[in-house]
Amino acid sequence: MKKLTSIFFSLVALQLFAQPLGYEDVPRIKENINQEWYWMKKDIQTPDGLGSNDAAWKNVSLPHNPDPVSLWLNDVKENWVQESFIRDISWYRKELPITVTEDQLVFLEFEGVHAVTEVWVNGQYAGKNDLGGYTPFHFDITKLVTSGEINEIVVKADNSMNALVPPDPHKTDYIKWGGIYRDVYLVTTNKLRVDFNWADQEAGVRITTPTVKRRYGMASVTTTVTNAHSSKKVCELITKIVNADGLVLKTMKDSSPVLSGSSYTFRQTTALEDEDYFTWSPERPYLYRAVSYVYEAGKLVDFVENRFGFRKLELVDGEGLLLNGKPFFMIGANRHQSFPHIGDAVPNSMHYEEALMYKEAGFNTLRLSHYPQDNAFIDACDELGILLYEEPATWIDWEQGIWMDKLEASARVMIRNHRNHPSIAIWGAGINHRGAVQRLALAAKEEDPTRFTGSASSPWNGMRHAGLTDIFATMDYRVSEWAEEGFTLVMEHGNNASSAMNQFHLSRYKKRKNNIGALAWVGADYYHLKPKADNPEKFTTYGMLDMYRTKRPVYHWYQSELNPEDMVYIADERVSTKGIVHVYSNADRVELYADGQLIRSQLPDNIQEKSNNDHPSFSFHFPWNGEALKALAYKGRKLVATHERKMPGQPYAIQLSVDYPEYPLRAGGSDIKTVRAYLVDKEGTIVHGAENKVTFEATGSGALVQGDADYMNELTPIEGAVAAYVKGITEPGKITVKATSGKLKSTSVNLTSIANETNEILNAASDIYDFPFYQIDIGHEGQLSQFDWKTWDISHETDLEHEETSRVKFKVSSGGTIAWSKGQPSMRGDLPFVGSDGVFVKDTTLYLTITGLEKGTYQLVSFHNAHSHKDQFPYNINSQAGYADNWQVEDQHLVVFTKNNDSGERGPISYRQFFEVYGQEPLRVYFRTDKNDSYTWLNGFELRRIK
């Protein structure tokens, strides 16, 4: 250990970044500690033999792959059992300043390490995780650190073959990489805290949505608070439901004593409706936040937040899968997480960008094969609107005993970790090629009864139905049969570059209502060690995206089938061969020209194999021999899209592009941007057959990932394209990336890195506006008031003023006589007890004056129902001159005129107004009907600050 000269430097650094509103006093600290680690390989079991010679250690950042590889995995001879290739031990060391007070705990949190992990802090053993490399874990290191000093952390990442840790010791159709390949955090909490979600079945925060309707939804939040103090503590838990704009919509409060060394589980449920309520779907992935505040003796001691969405999935016999009550067919692919050279040591940004590629293809569902995947990818699918099928880490083989115990335990951790994500639709409860496993199905339902389970079946082994699982999730490469009863999801089906195979499988599965989806194998190519006679196949070559995530033609057919934007795309020479030019479009008709001459005007292919698809491709029978092609797409007589293509010539130059440049690169070495190089001819057409090796160089505030490796000197293109991965150095700034290839015309591209924020709570934060929200029902004593609204009792002229708080006051007034409803009138419709009573005036103006509002933007919704008068009229509404800029009046009532005692399935006539409050002057709103000899009513109002 080393003495810390300034024990608060890391916290000071965090404060350099502007804090979003609502995060000023957050007591929990979650610091990303990915940078400045030291790494080495050594085949020893404890850190005693590591030595202190710094020259033996290499400085690295996380995520880290100890074994960066060439594209072709040169000299690797193993098959997919992978007994020895990269099956060794990595050691990581980091010196870290840690400050912990008497009432705090400090944890190391790991998102994923291959495959068995042990940790030492200051030479003392902290713990072991042996559930495999694909699920998170943590260690309480409070008693091992020395507060106010530099503490040494040592991590052993043992990727050796281990017969007791799934998916070992068996073959897998993916490489089992090594190292600390996901994020690591230092988490500091109070001893009265919300535990990690995966710590136990009841731990952390669990969010469910037991009611999901078109206009109404319930959110149930279960929060377990743990007390590590030496005495009982009285805990107050406040949970706030926050919408996508940051507005607090609901606040739930409960309190309970929590015994020392024990936990207490709070169960809180609330409801949203109408304008506050939106469902989550791929078309509109609306996300809310449940923000949990833990108080003890009036002091905020812990804070966590979780995102969630209101969505309901149902399996209905004869109708298939319903999402939020509407038919839904899952379309997408399978996803492996490995990339060229870096394996699965992938930063969060690259996970997001790959998810975005699938979304842009139009996919609504992905299967995460064959292991739990990074939190960042799940988060991205929440945001983008992609449903997920996630499964524990296996492939084909399995064993009883300790092996199965650990597989079940890792499945439970997977579910606890991702259970709050609306994107998760199905938990894998089978083993690939083998079908449903009762033990996994039971465990999944124990952990999360709200989601479906899938069987992971095959047509050549096992049961031909779902068994104990909900869905017969099977493979189909051979026209497999469907389950005779229940529901079938083809979780893997054939895929080829022209899309013919994809169109066939998708059309075939759409024929039957109880078929719920079709997911292609595979989204992007990936590394594996498939046995061959002389040498294993190192990676696949048939993905919709290649290894570098460059798009193949099939990707564009999915865009035509699934996306609403008008498009047409001529498939390139890789698939437009043998006398057929493939064109993809969502138009009614396509004209294809060659060298300016019309070949043919065609409708989409009308063949049985594609008959159930929305937009089958267009097959033009034309022997393409180098002509310049142009496609014109029409809807009716309107030209909606065009596309041109030329046959490529010889490689002439390199074109560079940066994937999603709108998303910045973070400095420090943990983040990566993909710079893509295309080998093009003189006219800029990609030469897919080019094999020219490309050399990249990065200068300025960046460097190539594994830039000193021999294989990085010349990178081999895949079908005319290759990519380099660029990281930022410690200081942010401009980065220039140059690509060269022999005599080809070289080029360069610039990007800029930004400063890295290590406070993960602030990284994920967006403003929280906890503004007042007033719902006032104007009535009088003896009348029925609206549920959950405040009642403004007007039984006399002296009651025309209402004090809501010591500051905010409401007043109704008029130049004429104000009257109010008598007796106990009734009304049918929404907000019936608001609309059944109120105040009114005849042939004059009614004023609502509001005083005491803070500066800001407000929304006022006022309700007007003349329940005791015959006619209803629209109102003229005005505000005090000069007080409300950008004045808007919007009639929210669909019918406008309603019966005075029955508004059907609507509420009273309502008017919505937005206004700015600049100072302390009262706000005065005018109401008056636009008819003579009529009454102006005010039954109640909602007032909400929105900015």
Instruction: For residue 929, name the pLDDT band (cuts at 50, 70, 90).
Output: confident
- Residue 831, classed as helix, strand or coil, is coil
Q: For residue 1, is pLDDT > 70?
A: no
pLDDT at 904: 79
pLDDT at residue 873, as a whole number = 62
Q: Which amino acid is at 938?
A: L
Count other C-beta atoms under 10 Å from residue 77's C-beta. 11
- DSSP class of 18: P
What 3-state DSSP class applies to 446?
Answer: helix
Q: Show the 3-state SS of 574-595.
A: CCCCCCEEEEEECCCEEEEEEC
Q: What is the pLDDT of residue 708?
A: 75
* Distance in Å from the first CA to the final CA of the chain: 49
Residue (of 211, 525, 597) closest to 337 by Cα position: 525
What pLDDT band is residue 874 in, cutting at 50, 70 and 90?
low
Which pLDDT score, from 0 to 100, does residue 108 have?
98
pLDDT of residue 895: 53
Q: Please write the tens of the pLDDT for every residue from 768-812.
A: 999 999 999 999 877 888 999 999 999 888 999 999 888 999 999
Q: What is the pLDDT of residue 4?
A: 40
pLDDT at 889 over 80: no
Amino acid in the structure at residue 211 = T
Contact 487, 460 (CB under 8 A): no
**What pLDDT score was predicted for residue 898?**
62
- Name the band, by pLDDT with cuts 50, 70 and 90, for residue 891: low
Q: What is the pLDDT of residue 234?
A: 97
Q: How big is the chain by its Cα radius of gyration, in Å?
A: 32
Check pLDDT > 70 for residue 871: no
Count the neighbouring beta carbons within 10 Å of the beta carbon of residue 549: 22
Q: What is the pLDDT of residue 532?
A: 86
CA torsion sign for 877, 879, 882, 885 is negative
**One-letter identity of residue 944:** R
Q: What is the pLDDT of residues 453-511, one digit of tens each?
A: 999 999 998 899 999 999 999 999 988 889 889 999 999 999 999 999 999 999 999 99
How does pLDDT run across 250-268, given as a tens digit for each residue?
Answer: 999 999 999 999 999 999 9
Confidence of residue 533 (pLDDT cuts 50, 70, 90): confident
Give which of 699, 693, 681, 678 is closest to 750, Cα–Cα: 699
Look-up: residue for tokens 């791929």?
282
| Percent of the chain whose predicted confidence (pLDDT) is above 70 | 95
Could you give the dihedral angle defined by the CA atoms of residues 556, 558, 564 and 569, in that order, rounded to the nearest 10 degrees? 20
Q: Scan for tokens 């309970």, then name that residue.
A: 256
Is residue 922 very low, low, confident or very high in pLDDT (cuts 50, 70, 90)?
A: confident
Count other Cβ atoms within 10 Å, centred on residue 541.
13
pLDDT at 8 over 50: no
Which phi-psi region, left, alpha or beta, contains residue 707 (left: φ > 0; alpha: ψ -120 to 50)?
alpha
Per-residue pLDDT, 378 = 98
Residues with Cβ within 8 Å of 221's Cβ and at least 6 positions away in sequence, in order, are 205, 206, 207, 239, 252, 267, 268, 269, 290, 292
How far lies 665's CA from each of 33, 77, 347, 463, in Å?
17, 37, 11, 48
Q: What is the pLDDT of residue 15?
A: 39
pTM to 2 decimals? 0.94
- Please indicate whether residue 75 or residue 631 has the higher confidence score (pLDDT): 631
Q: Please choose, from the candidates 894, 898, 924, 901, the residue with its C-alpha nearest in 3D space to the C-alpha of residue 835.
A: 901
Over 60: is that where the pLDDT of 671 sits? yes
**If pLDDT is split at 50, 70 and 90, which confidence band does 126 have?**
very high
**For range 921-942, the mean pLDDT:** 86
Two tokens at 426?
Answer: 């199905």
874/827: higher pLDDT: 827
CA dist., res. 156 & res. 85, Å (int): 18
pLDDT (mean) for 298-312: 97
Residue type, 100: V
Whole-Å CA distances, 872 to 822, 899, 902, 905, 909: 19, 7, 12, 17, 9
Q: What would the two tokens of residue 158 be?
A: 């043992």
**What pLDDT, on the 0 to 100 scale, is given for residue 312?**
97
What DSSP line would sit under 79-122, residue for residue? Answer: -TT-SSTT-SEEEEEEEEEE---TTEEEEEEES-EESEEEEEET
Task: Judge whether residue 87 has pLDDT over 70.
Answer: yes
Tell me the pLDDT tens digit for each residue of 9-48. Answer: 333 333 345 688 989 889 999 999 999 999 999 999 999 9
Distance separating alpha carbons of residues 804 and 852, to the nearest angstrom: 10
The per-residue pLDDT for range 159-202, each reduced to its tens digit, is 999 999 999 999 999 999 999 999 999 999 999 999 999 999 99
